Structure 1
Amino acid sequence: MKKEQVLNPKLRFPKFELMWKQVRLENVFEEFRSGNGITSQQISEVGEYPVYGGNGLRGYTDSFTHSGEYLLVGRQGALCGNIKLVNGHNYISEHAIAGQANGENSTKWLAYKLDYMNLNKLSESSAQPGLSVNKLLRLKLVVPSLPEQQKIASFLSAVDERIELLERKKEKLEAYKKGVMQQLFSQQIRFKQDDGSEFPDWEEKRLGEVVKVQGGFAFKSEKFKQTGIPVIRISNISNNNNFIETENLVFYDTIKNDVNFTINKGDLLIAMSGATTGKSSIYNLNDKAYLNQRVGLFKRKSKSLCYAFLIQFVFSTMFKNQLKSLLVAGAQPNISSSDIESIKISLPEFEEQEKIAVFLNTIDQNLESLDSQIQGLRTWKKGLLQQMFV
C-alpha cells in the first residue's frame, strides 16, 4: 500500500486506476541524442527548415535532420536543462538533445515531465553547466500508461495555450500603448475640451521647472533590518515592470527629519546608478518607505503639472531617448538629479494632461489585469504539476 502511494500522484483524472511504474529514461525514448554540428555560416534568417539549439530557434537552413514531434533539452550553458517542444522537419544543433518517445509513451507528456524535474540540477559543472546524454538515459522517472499521459499532456497544453493567448494579448496591448504614447506626446493626437473646442498649444519646459528630483539618504547597510520602514534601493527598481521589486527589501529604524527621504504610495522613482540606471518604478506599497542614495524621487513643485501625466511621460520613449543621451557610461553608468531635471518636456494645459493620463492609465489597468491573470494561471499550473507528477 505504501509503495502504491509513492508511485501514484495525488491528483488523477477519473477512470485511470493503473499504478504508475518506475522506469529509466532510456526505456521511454525511441531517440535521445545530441544534435549535429552546424556552423553559423549554414544558418540564415530565411530557409526551409528551422534550426534549434539549446535555447530554441536559432535560424533557418535548407537541410533537416529530424522530423515529427521532438522535445529539446538544452545541453550546455545558462539554459542547460531548458525544455522545448518542436514539431515538423527541423535541424537540431549540438547544443541541444533531441528526444522522441517510443510507441508506449507520449513525447509531449515527457516534455512536461522533464521540465518539472528541473534537469539543470544534474549538470556536470557549475562554471559551465552541461548535461551528459548517458547520465540522463540512466535517470529514473515514474510514468503512467500512454492514455493517461496523453490525457495529462492534453490538459496541460490547454492551460499553456490559455497562458500564451493572454501573453499575446498583453504584447499587442503593450505595442498599442507604445504607439499611441508616441502620437500623444508628439501631439499627432490631441484631446479636446469638454465643450468640443481645442486646447491651447503645448509649452516646452525643462523638467526642473515643474519637478525636483530628490536624491536619497546614505543609509548604513550594517543597520539594515528585517522589520521596520522599507528602504528602497536601486536593486528594488524593476527591469521587468513598472513597480517595485520586493524580494530583496531591507528595513530601517525611524530617522529624524525624514520628510525629504520619505516615499509614499504612487511616488515615481528612478535608478541613478548601477545596472538599472534610468529605469523607473512606481512605489506601489501601502506603507511609507525611505529613499536610499542613488535613487531619485520625482517631487512636483508646480501646480501646472499633473503627476499622473509626469509618470506616463517618464515611461515614454521621448523621455528614455533624452535620458540615454545623458547617461555617463563607465564601469558603472550613472546620472545626476540635474541631468534628469534638464530633460525637455512639452506640457499641455492641466486639464489635457489629466485626459491623457486617464486614457493611458486605463490601458495600464488592462495590462495589469492581463498580467495578474497570466501569473495566476502559472501559479495554478505549478500547483497542479506538484499533484499530477510523481
Structure 2
Amino acid sequence: MNSVQLKDLCSVKSSTLKAGDVKNMNPGQYPVYGASGLIADIDSFQHENPALAIVKDGAGFGRVYKTPKKSSVVGTMQFILPNEDVDRDYLYYVLNHIDFNKYRSGATIPHIYFKDYSSVQIKKHSLSEQRIIAEKLDGVTGLIDKSYAELEEFDQLVKSRFNELFINKNQNDKESLLKDVASLMSGITKGRRIKGPTITVPYMAVSNVKDGYLDLSTIKTIEASEQEVEKYRLLPNDVLMTEGGDPDKLGRGCVIETPLHNCIHQNHIFRVRLNNRLLTPTYFQFYLQDKKAREYFLRSAKQTTGIASLNMTQLRNLPVIIPPIGQQLVFEEDVQVINKSKLAIQKSIDELETLKKKLMQEYFG
C-alpha cells in the first residue's frame, strides 16, 4: 500500500493566547482549550471549523484533543487542521499512533515541533476508507471508555460503603495517635556511603505510591547492605505513605499486599506497620483519604509554593479513629469482592487496548 507523510494530511495553526490572560477575557459561548482540556468560555474564537489541537509544550506534549467549531487554544498548543480529503476522526487516531517522544526537544520543558514530526509516514487511505477506520476505532475506544466508567463506579461504591460504615456512625469510637497503634519508619537514602558488601534489591519510590493503589509499572533497584535490607524490608500489608508533593496529594498512601523479595523503600516514603488487632490496612488506607485525615495533613504540613511536606513527627501524631475491628473486617471483605470485579474489568481493558494498538498498527503502519 502507498504511504503519505503527515504533512500531506493536515496543516497547523499556532496561537499566542496565554493561559493567564484567559481569566481576564470577556465570558461568552466559545471554548478555550489548554493542556488539561477546557479552560473557559469566552466571547471570541480563533478557528471557525471543528479541528484537532495538540499540546506542543510541557509535560503533556503530544496529547490530542478534538475541538468543536468556533474554539481557541492557548499558546502551548496548536491546531491541527485536516485537509479537505481527510476525516478529522481518522486524523485524531493517526496522531495518537505517533510516538512523539522521538521528536521531543528541550531539557527542562519538553517541546515538539510540527516540522520535526510532519514527515512521519502513514499508510494512504481514501476518504471513505478513513471513515470506516475511524468508525471501527471509535467502537473499540467506546468500549474502553465504558469500562473505565465502570471502574469509577466501583471506586465510588467503595467510598460510599466506607462512609456508610464509618462516617458519623460510631460517635463513641476510640481515637488514638498513629504512633500508638503502628510502628513507622522512613526509608533508605540514595547516594549514601555504604560500608562492606552489598546486594541489589528492589525498592519502592514515590512514583510507585498512589492514592489508594500501588503502581508497579516501573520498579527501581538499589544497592544495599544486608543490614539495611533487614532494617527496611517491607512485609505483607504494610502501608506506604509519601512525605510530600502537591497539597491535594499530601499524605497519600496505599497497601503493599505482597512485596517483592527483599523489597525496601526510599527515604521520601514512610512505612506504616499497623497493630493488626486494632486496625486493618484496608480501613487505614481509606481513612487516609477521608476529610478528617486530609484536614490534619493540610493543617500540619510545611508548605512552600505548590509543594507540601510532612515529617515523621507530624505523621506519628495523626489522629486515627478506630472502629470495632469486626466492622473493619466487614469493610475489608466488601473491598475484596469489589476488587475482584475491578480486576475482571481491568483485564478486559488491557485486551481492548491491545486490540486497539494492533488495529492502529495495521491501519497506519
TM-score normalized with structure 1 length: 0.74
Q: 2:320 — aligned with what?
A: 345
1:34 equivalenced with 2:10 (yes/no): no
Q: 1:355 — aligned with what?
A: 330
CA–CA distance in 1 between the matches of 2:280 and 2:215?
Answer: 22
CA–CA distance in 2 between the matches of 1:240 and 1:89?
Answer: 38
Q: Which runs of 5+ in 1 are unaligned?
A: 1-18, 191-199
Q: 2:93 — aligned with what?
A: 112
| Contact 2:73 2:79 (C-alpha < 8 Å) held by counterparts | yes
CA–CA distance in 2 between the matches of 1:100 and 1:362?
Answer: 47
Q: CA deviation at 1:375?
A: 4.3
Q: 1:285 — aligned with what?
A: 259
Range with greater deviation from structure 2 (272-281 or 312-321): 272-281
- Give the aligned CA root-mean-square deviation in angstroms: 3.9
The count of corresponding residues between Structure 1 and Structure 2 is 358
Q: Which runs of 5+ in 2 are unaligned?
A: none
| Contact 2:212 2:286 (C-alpha < 8 Å) held by counterparts | no
CA–CA distance in 2 between the matches of 1:382 and 1:315?
Answer: 35
- Describe the SS at the equivalent of 2:226: coil
Q: Sort the Cα spacing of 1:357 and 1:59 in 2 relative to 1 into closer, same or farther, 3 A.
A: same
Q: 1:163 — aligned with what?
A: 144
Range with greater deviation from structure 2 (222-231 or 75-84): 222-231
Q: 2:40 — aligned with what?
A: 59
| Contact 1:274 1:334 (C-alpha < 8 Å) held by counterparts | yes
Q: 2:179 — aligned with what?
A: 208
Q: Sort the Cα spacing of 1:183 and 1:172 in 2 relative to 1 into closer, same or farther, 3 A.
A: same
Q: 1:255 — aligned with what?
A: 226
- Describe the SS at the equivalent of 2:176: strand
Q: 2:206 — aligned with what?
A: 235
CA offsets 1:53-104 (integer angstroms, 9 cap, x no match): 4553221123445444312233444444432223344334554433343343
| Contact 1:181 1:316 (C-alpha < 8 Å) held by counterparts | no
Q: Which structure has the highest strand share of the two? A: 2
Q: 1:314 — aligned with what?
A: 288
CA offsets 1:27-68 (integer angstroms, 9 cap, x no match): 434x64235758525656x63222234553221123445444
Alignment of 1:89-238 (within 5 A): 89-119=70-100, 121-122=102-103, 125-126=106-107, 129-130=110-111, 141-188=122-169, 201-216=172-187, 228-232=200-204, 234-238=205-209
Range with greater deviation from structure 2 (120-129 or 174-183): 120-129
CA offsets 1:187-233 (integer angstroms, 9 cap, x no match): 34x7xxxxxxxxx942222223322223445676576999744233x
CA–CA distance in 1 between the matches of 2:68 and 2:304?
Answer: 45
- Describe the SS at the equivalent of 2:28: coil
| Contact 2:209 2:252 (C-alpha < 8 Å) held by counterparts | yes
CA–CA distance in 1 between the matches of 2:233 and 2:206?
Answer: 18
- Describe the SS at the equivalent of 2:302: coil
1:271 equivalenced with 2:242 (yes/no): yes
Q: 1:86 — aligned with what?
A: 67
1:295 equivalenced with 2:269 (yes/no): yes
CA–CA distance in 2 between the matches of 1:350 and 1:41?
Answer: 50
Q: CA deviation at 1:237?
A: 4.1
Q: Sort the Cα spacing of 1:170 and 1:301 in 2 relative to 1 into closer, same or farther, 3 A.
A: closer
Q: Sort the Cα spacing of 1:223 and 1:110 in 2 relative to 1 into closer, same or farther, 3 A.
A: farther
| Contact 1:237 1:279 (C-alpha < 8 Å) held by counterparts | no
1:386 equivalenced with 2:361 (yes/no): yes
CA–CA distance in 2 between the matches of 1:161 and 1:90?
Answer: 25
- Describe the SS at the equivalent of 1:263: coil
Letter in 2 for 1:268: V
TM-score normalized with structure 2 length: 0.78
| Contact 1:207 1:343 (C-alpha < 8 Å) held by counterparts | yes
Q: Sort the Cα spacing of 1:64 and 1:268 in 2 relative to 1 into closer, same or farther, 3 A.
A: same
CA offsets 1:288-309 (integer angstroms, 9 cap, x no match): 4234445332223462334443
Q: Sort the Cα spacing of 1:385 and 1:349 in 2 relative to 1 into closer, same or farther, 3 A.
A: same
CA–CA distance in 2 between the matches of 1:54 and 1:350?
Answer: 45
